Structure 1
Amino acid sequence: MKLARLFLTINGARRMVVCDPEKDSLADMLRRLGLTGTKIGCKAGQCGACSVILNGEVIRSCIRKMKNVKEFSVIETIEGIGTPTCLHPLQQAWITYGGVQCGFCSPGFIVSAKGLLDKNPDPSREEVRDWFQKHRNLCRCTGYKPLVDAVMAAARVMRGEAAIEDITYREEEGASIYGSRYPRPAALAKVTGLCDYGDDIKLKMPDSTLHLAIVQPKVASHAKIIAIDTSAAEKMDGVVKIVTAKDIKGTNRIVVPVVHPRSTEPGTERPIIADEKIFRYGDVVAVVIAATEKKAREAAKAVKVEIEPLPEYLSFLDAVAPDALRIHTGPNTYLMQPVLKGQRAEDAIDEAFCSVEGSFHSQREPHLSIEGDTLQGYWDTEGNLTIHCKTQAVGWHRAGIAGGIGMDVERVRIIENPTGASFGWAASPGSYAIMGACLMLVDNPLTLTMSYEEHQHFSGKRTASYTNGRMACDENGLLTALEFDTGIDHGPYTEVSDHIIEKVARFMGFPYAIPNVSGLCRIAHSNHNYGTAYRGFGSPQAYTCSEALVDMLAEKMGMDRFAFRYKNIAREGDLNINSVPFREYPMQTLMDMIKPYYDKAIEDARTCSTESRKRGVGLVCGGFSCTLGPHDHCEVALELNPDGTVTHYNTWEDQGQGGDIGTLTHTHEALKPLGLAPGQITLVQNDSHVCPDSGIAAGSRLHYMVGNATIHAANQLLSAMRKPDGSYRSYAEMLADNIPVKYVGVFDVTGTGLSALDPNTGVGDPTQALTYGVFLAEVEVEVETGKTTVLSMRCAGDVGKIGNLLAVEGQGYGGLSHTIGYALSEDYSDFKRHATLAGAGVPYIKDIPDNMELMFLETPRADGPFGSSGCSELFQSSSHMAVINAIYDATGVRIYELPARPEKVKAALEAKAAGKSLKPKKYFLGSDLYDALDDIAENPV
């Protein structure tokens, strides 16, 4: 190896660096210097997280080799822009205007924005957007709008038109922060580049740390493993051990139980390391432990795998075909949930005045977080097997991996690192189990960083769906019946499949009043990637069918789409499709809120369309639930400290949604009698051996569950502190009176009247809270190419009382941006083409409109903390169908199978011009719908 010595001016100081000019990137060199604010996400120049300013130009440092960096170059990184005690206006604006969620992209964006303002101190919003598009700055959390807001605000300060105090949140002494725009506690570290994510921690681990590299054969999606030859790899320099399934000390199975009486799978079918078979393209057959990451990766390439190919079923339709072999020992369709209400739907539809039908497909959507999978592990000073990772289920994951690796669950310690988002894939513990299994074999600390391609193939995805649906109404346009048969392609592993099937069975046709329903949800194994949690999980698949059918039925009736929905939304006393009342009835008000925008959008679409560019408007209703079911449970703890401050302990896993600000807001409000300032509340979160188990960050549950548990803990603490005269004891007085200073708060929904969906009928009421929304999209379709551009997105939503406006708006804008990608571009079906962020269709800033608006109706929830519910998944429930319906409004062609890529829209336009239709044939989902429903009725559980 031949090295080079260079002098560079880095953040204003002359520094000498030594590097490998051929192999080191500028990002590698900067991070070795400790400047870890320069993040590496994709390592392919597609995300901009590594942006720095080199000789006055913004560049992506992960793809700039050191041989192309001239000596005496001037480099500026996030660490040179501002410090925690002296923030740059851009950093302050990022904090104040909601530019920080997970924060992984924030340093790159801020550096890029500074490069813009250095050249153009007075940009327009569109110039800011053009700049970020040009420099490939990618954000998956914010929907981009808050980032442009932040740049515009900072620019005013830099031009001398405002002071930095004008763009800084002003905290009023003694005021409640509930419902405010109080900034996230973690934002300061994130905007200064000082927050240590997984790979930053890796660089700061002890010298004895060993590195892991996974072996993914990538030769088949279904095969018997005949032999694994590790002999050549074991002899390579620096290799400590090659771990295969035979080395696992436990059962070598991940345990995620399927809690549903109709399941034929227990949830133990997934191996930690593949032993007998490869079930999907991303399966891991071995793990290399070596002295360096480079040596581990080189050895991983030397591991040879001999296989016997088996039939590959890469979709639900293939897996349930009559001649398909079983992927596991049980049937490929392993779970069914019927939904029955009123009259048999086929009879009601046959008797109806008007009906429509169609078959609809939603794709396997990749989460596309910029930070992939990265984790560390070690044995702590108390002998606990400790894993630092991106978990969003601290307690669940301890239980899910302990038996598989052969360790007592009480000695498995899970700690969530500061996390660059996941949006759901981190609900699956596969990589954490691999780390635990390897720790069982060595005493050294370990670290694992998957390449983005490895992560893309390894991590789960939103499940694909296939639905046959019919809907009918009477002569007045009132809905009379809904029939649906949905097949969910969950891949080879069952993780969270029971939760997903429940959501499909609850949100098909939500939030309309439909008297007669016959529906069936089926989940089957395939050999494509496995399904896991993703914001809104289960509901987008349902709305892909039902919101298309509503539009189709309105058109067939000759009714305006808004008027048709307005007539059919649930009102006081109406029952949902599971035969229970809606918990609130805000839909009429929400539709009234969106109506002026709908009318204006319709007018604009009709007047602005041309022969070459057609404009259209899409409207949908939607909603989601909060909490995970009738036995959801949450614990937190509050402790009074000697100085009179309070510490809150919980496992509100923060994937970027704001577990820190949510915890702070609830605690400040619950302890209002003590008069604490927000700065007097310390947060200790997401360490299984320090914090009570608050449960998984999923199902829009934690704001609701932690909030109620916090109120319980606060009431106990206040009661203990309260003196007979109404004043409060100090810490010293508590000790003197032998009164405990720490209290566990519990919120458990068991016994509150909730019920799981009946496995025979679908009747049930599983969750305590719901959210509601109306979504409006304006699009323009380029006729020649089929390219669809979303011009605006609006939401009128009801998520109860809002705890923190910045956090809720962030989830709103971010959720809408995901739905645009879901509608138009995002996919994980082709293992080669969809292995990268860009290849999988991630939306950049010019793919997302700057014209996005959120409007809120705050209906207090009776059982919610301070009137709140959850919020996140509302925004990613049905809004993708606003885009799809808008394409139809613009062009007269309906896209039945997502995503609506340009070539698909173009093909539909050409088929329409030729008098043909690309409407898919009715899907065969394994059996006739009514035969399956009759069989369930004859064999109840």
Structure 2
Amino acid sequence: MKLRKMWLNVNGANRMFICNPEKDSLSTVLRRMGLTGTKVGCGTGVCGSCSIVLDGKLIRSCTKKMKTVKEYSKVITIEGIGTPNNLHPIQVAFMNCGAVQCGFCTPGFIVSSYALLLENNNPTREEVRDWFQKHRNVCRCTGYVQIVNAVMDAAKVLRGEASIEDITVPMPKDNEYYGKPLVRPTSLSKVCGVADYGDDQELKMPEESLHVAIVQPKVAHHAKILKIDTSAAEKMPGVVKIITSKELLEAGGTNIMAEAQFHERTTVMVPSRKILCDEKIYRYGDVVALAVAKTKEQARAAAAEVKVEIEKLPEYLNYLDAVMPDSIRVHEDTPNIFSMQPVLKGVGLEEALNVNDVIDNSAYSTSGSFYSSRQPHLSIEGTTVQAYFDEEDNLAIQCKSQGVYSTIGRIGNSVGVPKDKIRIIMNPTGASFGWSTNAGDVCLAAAAAVVTKMPVALSLTYEEHQHFSGKRCPCHSNGRVACDENGKITAAEFEFGMDHGAYSWGGDDIMTKPARFAFFPYNIPNVAGLVRIANTNHNFGTAYRSYGSPQAYTLSEALMDMLAEKAGIDPFEFRYRNIAREGETNINSYPFRQYPMEEMMNIMKPIYEKAVEEAKKYDTPEKRRGVGLSWGGFNVTEGGTDSASVAIELNSDNTFTKYDTYQELGQGGDIGSLMLTLEALKPLKVTPEQIKLVQNDTKLCPDSGMSGASRTHYMSGKATIIAAEKLMNAMRKEDGTYRTYDEMVAEGIETKHFGKYQNTSVEGLCRLDPNTGIGDPTPAFTYCLNLAEVEVDTATGKTTVIRFTCVDDVGKVGNIAAVNGQAYGGISHSIGFALSENYDDVVKHSNMLGAGVPYIKDVPDVINVIHYERPDEIGPFGSSGASEAFQSAGHVAVLNAISNACGVRIYEMPATKEKVKAGLDIIAAGGKVEPPKKYFLGSDLYDELENIKANPVKFGGDDFFIPLGNDANAERFF
């Protein structure tokens, strides 16, 4: 190895260092210097998180080899732009415009913005967007709108047209914080590059820490393991241990990840997933061994030397292949279709499932078969975990987690450590969108720590992460819907076949979502439906924002447009006639919890009418314009068994500490908790500076539950109110004033109070009946009405979303900047889902670019979000939930707009330019774009429903269900 001593001028100072010029990248050298504000996401130069300025030019440093860097080159990193005590206007603008969410991409964007404004301090919005597109800066959280806002504000300051005060959010002087755009508490560290994410923590671990690399064979989707040969790897330099299942079992682990049953119809009776595969490979991303060494490079070199001999087995890479009658079982102990949920409403219950007769006898009907793709989450930060034994001999794991307590439950007994001795600590986190609900990565790091008895750090390459982490379940569906001569829907029938990939955990829960959200929020009097979920040999399905509902809307919102066209009714008017009004029921035979639909459509109507007129005005044979609508929405909380706990403590300086597990993944767990606490303690006239947040450490914080199911603000908010009332009651004197900390101590009054809220207090909640689909599981919904305006290039088939409008009901907004950020971000994911995102080809889709991540020019700059703030009747301070509704159905608005623009209906997502062009060519030749032949989803719909009716299962009730956020002590399989 030939090393080189070099000098660089870094942030104005000459710095000397040693590097391997052939191997080291500039980002590696900078991070070794301690300049960890330079983040590495993709590692292949396609995300821009590593952006720095080199000799006056913006570059992506992760692919810049040191052999190409000249001595004494001038480098500017985020640390050289501004510090917490001396912020640059760009940093101030990012904080105050809500442009910081998870924050992992933020340093790269700020450096990129800095370089832009050095060249042009008076850019247009489109010039800003062109710059970020050219330099491949990706943000997966914000939808880019607030980032462009921040650059425009900073430019005003740099030109002398505004002051720092002018671009700073003013602090309310009336103690009325709730709903205002208060700056996130964690944003300061993020804009300065000093927030230490997982890989930053790894660099700062003690010297004796070991590094872990995975052995991920990537040779087959399905194979029998004949031999794992570790002999060569064990002799590699720096290797401490090569760990297979054998070593983990010898250390006392079971090697089997914990699972919970969610549904009475599940056929899965034993957990299906091992930490380290030892008998079979079930999917391309499976891990068979771990290489533990003194350095990361040594661990990866050793992992590459582990030899795996296999015998290939039949591979079922989609639902349709896995459910064919002659398919072998993916897991021997369960059929490939491992759970199903029927939905029966109206005539289907009393008259032998004759919904099909109602459809046949209606004035108009339409049908279609649809496919929604395996959407990858594509967070910029991938998989990185640290594990060690702490001062109390707890197995402490620092990680990314949607729920720190539920992560303990999912580890279970797999590594041989009692659950009460496992401590989960959430690192500053570069987003997740749901993939971190699964604890597979945590189990790998835990296994290495248990076997070696040493502190360890696990960090996957982005390609390894892409293959290892779960994805949104792909889904095939068939459906029919009918209406009378007045355009009122008479009946609907549908079937969904969801592909849950190689492992079943959570599949019997996610499949209840299409059974709730198909044709939401319409009044459909007669329904016959069935949702099936199956194992395949592709990547496993896991949570993703809107969890199971986008698959439902892919079918139902397309059919709504198709039926409107069949009946000769405008698609807006058709929806208006069929939205549920007060007292009308959803497809699960219960009233909607709220009825904001008509008012939301009234708000959207003039916007829709203007969009239609503009589409006609600008439509040309070369550039076709179209408008598309979709209704969407999602549930709030995990149901009747959901609960949340928090604590609030009065401190000796008369400030307050709030303890909770409002997991911050970019959605605003920090600002959400702060807003709730300010409002709950409002009688004390508390200011933001008086509240300290202690979050997401199971040793220090009570269990507030999962950050998912649009539940946390609602559930944690209710718990915060209880804790605050207890504390204020304890502080309150007889004259109505409040005791100080010293007075509380002097009188022996407790200064720390806990609040626990449970949904059992909500009347009428009941799970879906597994035999009929009748039920009312959650206390609230969120609602979104989407409008997409698109342009289709007829020469290429490329679709561009010109504008997007969303009217939502999320109850009272807690922090306007945070909710807007969730809206913009969810909409950007929806657009990507519609047009480009996919993880189907494990070679092509192995990085962000290949998997179709939307860059800034793939998302419109004009995203109008209109909040219909109807205070929720039972939510905390009138709030409901947010985030997930914004990604539920926006993709179908885009697909409907493509059909409106050029007549091409895309039945199988994503709507790539090749698919649209193929449809245009069919139309040009005088043909018609037809839906695919009806999918075979396991058996005839009505035969299966008759079979379920004849063979009902016992309805277990709420005691059967282990909620996602509170299963730390689950013993279902152990």
- TMscore range, shorter length: over 0.9
Partner residue of 2:963? none
**Further displaced range: 570-579 or 735-744:** 735-744
C-alpha displacement at 1:72, in angstroms? 1.6
- Give me the whole-angstrom Cα distance separating, in 2, the residues matched to 1:629 and 1:366: 27
1:627-648: CA deviations, max 9, x gaps? 0122101111111111111100
SS at match of 1:148: helix
Partner residue of 1:797? 808
Count of aligned pairs? 941
Partner residue of 1:863? 874
- Give me the whole-angstrom Cα distance separating, in 1, the residues matched to 2:640 and 2:321: 35
Query: Does 2:820 match 1:809?
Result: yes
Match of 1:575 among 566, 573, 585: 585
Letter in 2 for 1:926: G
- Give me the whole-angstrom Cα distance separating, in 2, the residues matched to 1:440 and 1:161: 59
Partner residue of 2:707? 697
Partner residue of 1:471? 481
**For 1:233-252, what aligned pairs fall within 5 Å after superposition?**
233-248=233-248, 249-252=252-255
- Give me the whole-angstrom Cα distance separating, in 2, the residues matched to 1:263 and 1:221: 24
Query: Does 2:352 match 1:342?
Result: no
- Give me the whole-angstrom Cα distance separating, in 2, the residues matched to 1:125 and 1:401: 47
**Further displaced range: 499-508 or 266-275:** 266-275
In the alignment, is the contact (CA less than 8 A) between 1:911 and 1:918 conserved in 2?
no
In the alignment, is the contact (CA less than 8 A) between 2:213 and 2:292 conserved in 1?
yes
C-alpha displacement at 1:916, in angstroms? 4.7
SS at match of 1:404: coil
1:853-888: CA deviations, max 9, x gaps? 100111111110000011100100111000000000
Partner residue of 1:3? 3
Letter in 2 for 1:817: S
Partner residue of 1:409? 419
**Further displaced range: 223-232 or 750-759:** 750-759
C-alpha displacement at 1:495, in angstroms? 2.3
Letter in 1 for 2:210: L
1:707-734: CA deviations, max 9, x gaps? 0000010011011111111111111111
Partner residue of 1:118? 118
Partner residue of 1:453? 463
**For 1:169-248, what aligned pairs fall within 5 Å after superposition?**
169-248=169-248
Identity of aligned residues (%): 59
Partner residue of 1:662? 672
- Give me the whole-angstrom Cα distance separating, in 2, the residues matched to 1:507 and 1:717: 40
Letter in 1 for 2:886: F
In the alignment, is the contact (CA less than 8 A) between 1:198 and 1:417 conserved in 2?
yes
Partner residue of 1:679? 689
Match of 2:896 among 860, 865, 885: 885
Unpaired stretches in structure 2, ≥5 consecutive residues: 348-353, 954-974
C-alpha displacement at 1:306, in angstroms? 1.1
**For 1:99-178, what aligned pairs fall within 5 Å after superposition?**
99-178=99-178
- Give me the whole-angstrom Cα distance separating, in 1, the residues matched to 2:582 and 2:718: 27
In the alignment, is the contact (CA less than 8 A) between 1:213 and 1:296 conserved in 2?
yes
In the alignment, is the contact (CA less than 8 A) between 1:258 and 1:267 conserved in 2?
no
In the alignment, is the contact (CA less than 8 A) between 1:267 and 1:495 conserved in 2?
no
C-alpha displacement at 1:917, in angstroms? 3.3
SS at match of 1:676: coil
Structure 1 residue ranges (4+ consecutive) displaced by more than 3 angstroms after TM superposition: none
Partner residue of 2:624? 614
Match of 1:482 among 477, 488, 492: 492
**For 1:708-747, what aligned pairs fall within 5 Å after superposition?**
708-747=718-757
Match of 2:850 among 839, 848, 871: 839
Partner residue of 1:258? 261
Partner residue of 1:278? 281
- Give me the whole-angstrom Cα distance separating, in 1, the residues matched to 2:269 and 2:546: 24
Query: Does 2:404 match 1:394?
Result: yes
In the alignment, is the contact (CA less than 8 A) between 2:624 and 2:791 conserved in 1?
yes
Letter in 2 for 1:92: V
C-alpha displacement at 1:499, in angstroms? 2.8
C-alpha displacement at 1:918, in angstroms? 4.4
SS at match of 2:365: strand
SS at match of 1:502: coil
C-alpha displacement at 1:247, in angstroms? 1.7
How large is the RMSD of aligned CA atoms in angstroms? 0.9
- Give me the whole-angstrom Cα distance separating, in 2, the residues matched to 1:843 and 1:731: 52
In the alignment, is the contact (CA less than 8 A) between 1:671 and 1:714 conserved in 2?
yes
SS at match of 2:412: helix
**Further displaced range: 176-185 or 906-915:** 906-915
**For 1:857-936, what aligned pairs fall within 5 Å after superposition?**
857-914=868-925, 915-936=927-948
SS at match of 1:138: coil
SS at match of 1:498: helix
Letter in 2 for 1:439: A
**Further displaced range: 540-549 or 429-438:** 429-438
Partner residue of 1:756? 767
1:289-344: CA deviations, max 9, x gaps? 11111111111111111111111000010010010001111111010000000013
C-alpha displacement at 1:139, in angstroms? 0.4
- Give me the whole-angstrom Cα distance separating, in 2, the residues matched to 1:332 and 1:15: 60
1:218-256: CA deviations, max 9, x gaps? 111111111111011111111111111112222211113
- Give me the whole-angstrom Cα distance separating, in 2, the residues matched to 1:619 and 1:909: 21
- Give me the whole-angstrom Cα distance separating, in 2, the residues matched to 1:399 and 1:338: 29
1:3-39: CA deviations, max 9, x gaps? 2222221111122222111111111111111110000
Partner residue of 1:57? 57
- Give me the whole-angstrom Cα distance separating, in 1, the residues matched to 2:242 and 2:259: 27
- Give me the whole-angstrom Cα distance separating, in 2, the residues matched to 1:399 and 1:479: 44
- Give me the whole-angstrom Cα distance separating, in 1, the residues matched to 2:106 and 2:846: 24
C-alpha displacement at 1:363, in angstroms? 0.5
Match of 1:297 among 292, 296, 300: 300
When normalised by structure 1's length, the TM-score is 0.99
Unpaired stretches in structure 1, ≥5 consecutive residues: none
C-alpha displacement at 1:744, in angstroms? 1.1
In the alignment, is the contact (CA less than 8 A) between 1:255 and 1:267 conserved in 2?
no
- Give me the whole-angstrom Cα distance separating, in 2, the residues matched to 1:231 and 1:352: 71
In the alignment, is the contact (CA less than 8 A) between 2:905 and 2:929 conserved in 1?
no
Partner residue of 2:959? none
- Give me the whole-angstrom Cα distance separating, in 2, the residues matched to 1:307 and 1:524: 25
SS at match of 1:781: strand
Letter in 2 for 1:886: A
In the alignment, is the contact (CA less than 8 A) between 1:257 and 1:266 conserved in 2?
no
Query: Does 2:323 match 1:317?
Result: no
- Give me the whole-angstrom Cα distance separating, in 2, the residues matched to 1:191 and 1:440: 36
- Give me the whole-angstrom Cα distance separating, in 1, the residues matched to 2:623 and 2:114: 36
In the alignment, is the contact (CA less than 8 A) between 2:410 and 2:438 conserved in 1?
no
